[in-house]
Structure 1
Amino acid sequence: MAEQSTPETSSPGAPAEGAPGEVGVPQKVTAPKAAPKGASSENAPPGEAVSQKAPSKGVISRRRLLGTAGATGLALGAAGGAAGYAAAPSADRTALLSSLGADEVMFHGKHQPGITTALQARGHLVAFDLAAGAGRKEASALLRRWSTTAQRLMAGEASTSADTDVARDAGPSSLTVTFGFGHSFFARTGLEKQRPIALDPLPDFSSDHLDKARSNGDLWVQIGSNDALVAFHALRAIQQDAGRAAKVRWQMNGFNRTPGATSQPMTARNLMGQIDGTRNPKPSESDFDRRIFVPDAGDPSWMAGGSYAVVRRIRMLLDDWEQLSVKAQEDVIGRRKATGAPLSGGTETTAMDLEKTDADGGLVVPINAHSRITRPDENGGAAMLRRPFSFHDGIDAEGVPDAGLLFVCWQADPLRGFVPVQRKLDRGDALSTYIRHESSGLFAVPGGAAEGEYVGQKLLEG
């Protein structure tokens, strides 16, 4: 787990009648308006489509906030009360715009948001199954509704006239909403001929202990934000938009360290305390797009600019792990716990010397160390962009933490990315003693929606 980690837009369409880390690459974006004095963009990764801006006049927005606090109370006129949002004094907007809440990720672009977006503090993963009798028509209307809602919420606006007000006080907070299709979706919608070969079910692995009820699904949605209430607000809106067209199959909730919590930007740590994501592919690498995104001339054509997400709920056996000495933990991973540096020496980003030996002639990086096994050059160049969330779902019946990693990785082809690496881990990873794969899913995530389109339109209307 530790080695391969981290404009103003138009609505994508109105709902159908009667419808109930570390890395970043540019998405389509116009130059943002100048932020007020004191605003900061330090939390945006290089090239990320994130902006900080004041709300447009006349637009009902979460960023048009509550009135001044204290004795002045909440200033809402009749019209403002009916809409659920009202303009705030300029000073209050300036205060918001100098915070994490002002960061906005663009909905429209060549790729969907939430793939190269920097790690977010809060995340929700949720899978849906289409309702009995629902097919291509209902799926098309649902993706149109979802895209409209996602675009509005990511811009810091209210979702609909029935908005729950959960995120009323907040700005966009780097919200992203990402949509994907599971293997079963294509049979349900009569689109089997459009199902990608790369979406064939993942092979079985000996380390799997999978719960089928929490695996796969017709549709998959990933939600991320740097504010927990903004993330929940989006989750609730997406669930409400599903209406009678689809029902939740499973849902998982995760978190990461909040941007700005450390004195300087750094690779994230997982719940084992290990720096996790050191060798994540970077957009600056010449083959980044080839490894992560389906090419424009890819097959099928509707997946151009898209990617494939492998989703795994990986339980960490923390009670067993924490009984190990730090030295033993470092041997399992192959890196120093404090700094992430390889056991062969150097800093976190120093290339690992797999041949280096100690005074007794033994390998400094053990032969079954996790970071050795997952190296791309040890797997025929296989690479994937890891973008996980940690999770903690309380204490189980045996009194141990139900905690671990919501593993999400992105690649142009899972048969060349995730599968070969996992097969090798399956054969002798020292970390396998301390983790358990409990659920799994593979989803085709199409390219981003152009302005005026919804996500998946080329598939559903092609």
Structure 2
Amino acid sequence: MADNGSTGTSGTTGRGGPTGTSGATSPHGSTGAGRAKDADGAAGTGGATGPGRLSRRRLLGTAGATGLVIGAAGGGVAGYAAASSSGSSAASGAAGSGTALVSLGADRVMFHGKHQSGITTPMQSRGHLVAFDLKAGTGRKEAAALLRRWSQAAERLMAGDPVDDDTAVARDAGPSSLSVTFGFGASFFARTGLEKQRPAALEPLPDFSSDHLDKARSNGDLWVQIGANDPLVAFHALRALQREAAGVARVRWQMNGFNRSPGATAHPMTTRNLMGQIDGTNNPKPSEKDFDERIFVPADGDPAWMAGGSYVVVRRIRMLLDDWEKLGLKAQEAVIGRHKSDGSPLTGGSETTEPQLEKTGPDGRVVIPVNAHARITRPDQNGGAAMLRRPFSYHDGFDSHGEPDAGLLFVCWQADPLRGFVPVQRKLDRGDALSEFIRHEASGLYAVPGGAAKGEYVGQRLLEA
């Protein structure tokens, strides 16, 4: 949970984003109802439903203008959607009654755009991460056909429309801010004969001392991220994409995550992670002049097919909560370098106040310990390295010792992982106080191409070059 936008040793998830006390998670660590958000999360026009199709939204009538999406204070991209007082009540009528959906169900993210959805899209309350491996004998032609089918299905689902042979799991729901994101692992290029098109930035991540990686739950030829503000809508999309992959690719691993639900707090605020810490304060924001430069591959980037794309690092970071919860409040705050109550630095101020790293207390020691997570992950302590963290919390029950298998599905975005994730994680490995309370159990790095234009599918510029 890096404090500033870099990966932190123990990344946490912020409703508006990333893990990290301040905006980065450690690798060890508005649109009104009925309006559409483009692939970057900005308000869009909203597309029409497919011909002859009954959209999930139309089953409950036309979306009303009763909802309001509000960005989380200080959370930037990861801000959550909060229903207004008039739109927070559930729709009371049955399907077909003419009752409008409230903002939660009516909000739509656009499939087409300069960038894929799910990167700057406001964080959703439910997420699925899944990796696929191409089956033996599957090559470039079959992979292209799969990405075409996946893109067509994602466009329909994100519009609130059913897909072919629909299971009706999400029949009564609106789009619910569904986003679907596709990426390629390093192994994809060898399997499809596209080695010469593999980006240099997709080199395997180095080994870190904090790693306890399960290879079966790491990497993969293809990677898919699904997010939505309704669990049935998210599951429906997961099953639809898995069915489309039949005969071409098999699931390598799949993980489920969650975040705070829209409107769960009295006012927009940065979320807390499973350690109880406010997480995501200083995540990079699209309003910052160098945001695109740090997060997205430029139009003249190399390779050309990655223009408008980004690189995502995915880490399953288990939080050793039994050990963490044995610490007293002061000890927890010393590990993070921030107050647990409001996320403010130990040197004073509010959540967004810059920490005074050189400030000392009456005993002559620095107030923020030298190994505090917030200090180590500061961008100005890492050559400006930063990333957009957009994780999910997870809880997969209890292990054989009765300890919670819970933590963070760390997801961070950057234009170049060698300048973003890697240098920060290396520094965390050398002495982050949080390392004692987290364990990295799975890892993956994927090239996520830019968004698809109308009539295109994601990855077309690579697969049909």
Per the TM alignment, residue 4 of structure 1 is displaced from its structure 2 partner at its CA by 3.5
1:315-339 CA-to-partner distances (Å, cap 9, x unmatched) read: 0000000000111100000011010
Cα pair 1:131 1:245 within 8 Å, conserved: yes
Quote the Cα distance in structure 2 between the aligned partners of 1:146 and 1:444: 17
Query: Which structure has the bigger radius of gyration?
Result: 1
**C-alpha spacing 1:203/1:256, structure 2 compared with 1 (3 Å):** same
Cα pair 2:17 2:280 within 8 Å, conserved: no
Residue in 2 that maps onto 1:12: none
Residue in 1 that maps onto 2:130: 126
Residue in 2 that maps onto 1:89: 96
Cα pair 1:2 1:278 within 8 Å, conserved: no
Residue in 2 that maps onto 1:102: 106
Per the TM alignment, residue 427 of structure 1 is displaced from its structure 2 partner at its CA by 0.3
Residue in 1 that maps onto 2:387: 384
Q: Does 1:295 align with 2:302?
A: no
1:4-62 CA-to-partner distances (Å, cap 9, x unmatched) read: 459xxxxxxxxxxxxxx5379xxxxxx99xx7xxx587999996246679968854211
Q: Does 1:374 align with 2:377?
A: yes
Code of the residue aligned with 1:89 in structure 2: it is G
Give unpaired runs (5+ residues) of structure 1: 7-20, 25-30, 68-86
Which of residues 216, 227, 231 is equivalent to 2:230? 227
Cα pair 1:62 1:156 within 8 Å, conserved: yes
1:410-433 CA-to-partner distances (Å, cap 9, x unmatched) read: 000000000000000000000000
Cα pair 1:2 1:274 within 8 Å, conserved: no
Code of the residue aligned with 2:3 in structure 1: it is E
Query: Which segment is superposed worse, 383-392 or 51-60?
Result: 51-60
Per the TM alignment, residue 66 of structure 1 is displaced from its structure 2 partner at its CA by 6.5
Q: Does 1:306 align with 2:318?
A: no
Cα pair 1:306 1:445 within 8 Å, conserved: yes
How does the TM-score come out when normalised to structure 2?
A: 0.85
Code of the residue aligned with 1:447 in structure 2: it is G
Cα pair 2:56 2:174 within 8 Å, conserved: yes
1:207-248 CA-to-partner distances (Å, cap 9, x unmatched) read: 100000000000000000000000000000010010100000
Quote the Cα distance in structure 1 between the aligned partners of 2:406 and 2:272: 14
Structure 1 segments, 4+ long, off by >3 Å, are: 21-24, 39-47, 49-59, 87-90
Summarize the alignment of residues 311-390 of structure 1 with structure 2, pairs less than 5 Å apart.
311-390=314-393
Residue in 2 that maps onto 1:80: none
Q: Does 1:461 align with 2:434?
A: no
Summarize the alignment of residues 60-209 of structure 1 with structure 2, pairs less than 5 Å apart.
60-65=54-59, 88-89=95-96, 91-92=98-99, 94=100, 96=101, 98-160=102-164, 162-209=165-212
Quote the Cα distance in structure 2 between the aligned partners of 1:295 and 1:151: 25
Per the TM alignment, residue 65 of structure 1 is displaced from its structure 2 partner at its CA by 1.6
**C-alpha spacing 1:371/1:40, structure 2 compared with 1 (3 Å):** farther
Quote the Cα distance in structure 2 between the aligned partners of 1:188 and 1:145: 19
Cα pair 2:39 2:118 within 8 Å, conserved: no
Quote the Cα distance in structure 1 between the aligned partners of 2:51 and 2:38: 25
Quote the Cα distance in structure 2 between the aligned partners of 1:249 and 1:362: 49
Summarize the alignment of residues 440-451 of structure 1 with structure 2, pairs less than 5 Å apart.
440-451=443-454
Quote the Cα distance in structure 1 between the aligned partners of 2:161 and 2:205: 38
Quote the Cα distance in structure 1 between the aligned partners of 2:44 and 2:461: 26
Cα pair 1:3 1:277 within 8 Å, conserved: yes
RMSD, aligned CA: 2.4
Quote the Cα distance in structure 2 between the aligned partners of 1:54 and 1:263: 34
Higher relative contact order (CA 8 A, sep 6+): 2
